[in-house]
Amino acid sequence: MERVLRSSALRNAHSSRRLLRYLADRSIAGEISQLKEYTIGVEAFHKPEDYDPRIDSTVRIQIGRLRHKLDEYYRGEGKDDAFVVSLPKGQLKLVFEEKPDRSKAVAPDLSVTEESPKNLWRTAAFVLGTLLLLSLAAGMYAIGRAHPGQTAQAEPWTPELAELWHPFTGTNRPLLIAAGNPLFVQFENKAIYRNPSIENWEDLSKSPDFAAVSRSLGNRDSRPIHYYAAVGEVSAAFLIGQRLGPHQRNMSIVRSSQLQWQQLADANVLFLGPPRFFSDKLLNMPVSLEITEATDGFLNLHPRPGEPGLCRYREPAGFLSEDGEACVLVTHVAGPDGNSDVETFASNSTFGRVGAINAFTDPAFATSLVRHMRGASGHFPRYFQVMLKVRYKGGVPTETSYLLHREVRPR
């Protein structure tokens, strides 16, 4: 167990390490049969006593991640280990198995010395059959390599996931993933400058801060660039491609700064990034929004009893920390001509955005979310806004919870 925990596959996966150590300790103590999802949430992830696994899918998400981490370890560093630790699907119990000693395996006797013609034909048929099976296996492997999105079928595509993603998968219209690419300024000496509050080059070039930086660098020539994207956008775009790939083949990625109105009319679009990257486009769509962008968060225009009026963008544990929590607003609206679909995953935290995509593509969370959105009426809204809260540790999303949702109406 210590070797697995120290491996490169789990070294930086703090939540997976914590869960693996917890399950191992309970296994050694003989208490594994008493474990429930609630118990793991409270004891391993320090959930409050009123934690409800039906609403909060943290444990299920972390169980799935640990299972993938163990698979990764035994495909690499642990391929020669004498014992294999696994976490079978549908179980909370670790399984410890000894690998068979291949050195003791008896090699098949393929000798054909002094065999009759009948036996020679049997041997030839056996060898040809084996070669055909190997060829078939090689062909299946090549198909898998040619269409890597097929591996995403490891997670089930449930009716709830199909309902959430149907506007983007149940159509021949192409799907564009618009990843937020912020404005930077590059100076002649290769220095890079960014002001996170300004995304327009004309405004930035006139700002006092930019003037001060330019003077300190000797008033060198500078130019705007849109080369970079946050790690959350990279991770989220990869996850969308992995999960939606088997159901939507016509996907491509574009920079949000280059997305044109005609593309919004011709294709379905998923936006990933801070809200200011695409708020101008979203506000011009033919719908009336119930939740809008404010100075320091998302403003709930008509809060109901128990709902927050303002959900702050991000609350880090400290300036130098990658721990904290963030609000993420998911908005699904009609495109500019009413025929396409546009969905935004907006937050000022890159970790919050990837946590929201994780949740929207997780079967268990999707089940809970669709139940919330249907409510007592059973009606699932065509266009909607959903507010989520994502907690993250070391830059890794650890918990995503539902806060509220609104149906939005076409104008």
Q: What does the pLDDT read at residue 319?
A: 61
Residue 215 pLDDT > 80, yes or no? yes
Q: What does the pLDDT read at residue 211?
A: 92
3-state secondary structure the chain: CHHHHCCHHHHCCHHHHHHHHHHHHHHHCCCHHHCCHHHHHHHHCCCCCCCCCCCCCHHHHHHHHHHHHHHHHHHCHHHHCCEEEECCCCCCCCEEEECCCHHHCCCCCCCCCCCCHHHHHHHHHHHHHHHHHHHHHHHHHHHHHHCHHHHHHHCCCCHHHHHHHHHHHCCCCCEEEEECCCCEEEECCCCEECCCCCCCHHHHHCCHHHHHHHHHCCCCCEEEECCCCCHHHHHHHHHHHHHHCCCCCCEEEEEHHHCCHHHHHHCEEEEEECHHHCHHHHCCCCEECCEEECCCEEEECCCCCCCCCEEECEEECCCCCCCEEEEEEEEEEECCCCCCEEEEEECCCHHHHHHHHHHHCCHHHHHHHHHHHHCCCCCCCCCEEEEEEEEEECCEEEEEEEEEEEECEEC
Q: What does the pLDDT read at residue 101?
A: 59
Query: pLDDT tens digit string along 332-373?
Result: 999 888 889 999 999 988 999 999 999 999 999 999 999 999
pTM for the structure as a whole: 0.61
Q: Average pLDDT, stretch 362-388?
A: 94
pLDDT band at 54, cuts 50/70/90?
Answer: confident
Q: What does the pLDDT read at residue 372?
A: 94
Least-confidence region, from 20-24, 50-54, 84-88: 50-54
Q: What does the pLDDT read at residue 140?
A: 34
Q: What does the pLDDT read at residue 314?
A: 79
pLDDT band at 384, cuts 50/70/90?
Answer: very high
Query: pLDDT tens digit string along 178-198?
Result: 998 889 999 988 899 998 888
Query: pLDDT tens digit string along 105-124?
Result: 444 443 333 444 444 444 44
Top-confidence range, 29-33, 55-59, 258-262:
258-262
Q: Average pLDDT, stretch 256-273?
A: 90
Query: pLDDT tens digit string along 246-262?
Result: 999 899 999 888 888 88
Residue 34 pLDDT > 80, yes or no? no
The pLDDT mean for the chain works out to: 81
Q: Average pLDDT, stretch 40-69?
A: 82
Query: pLDDT tens digit string along 65-82?
Result: 888 888 888 888 888 888
Q: Which domains does the chain have, with CATH numbers?
A: 2-98 (no CATH), 159-180+229-410 (3.30.379.10), 184-225 (no CATH)
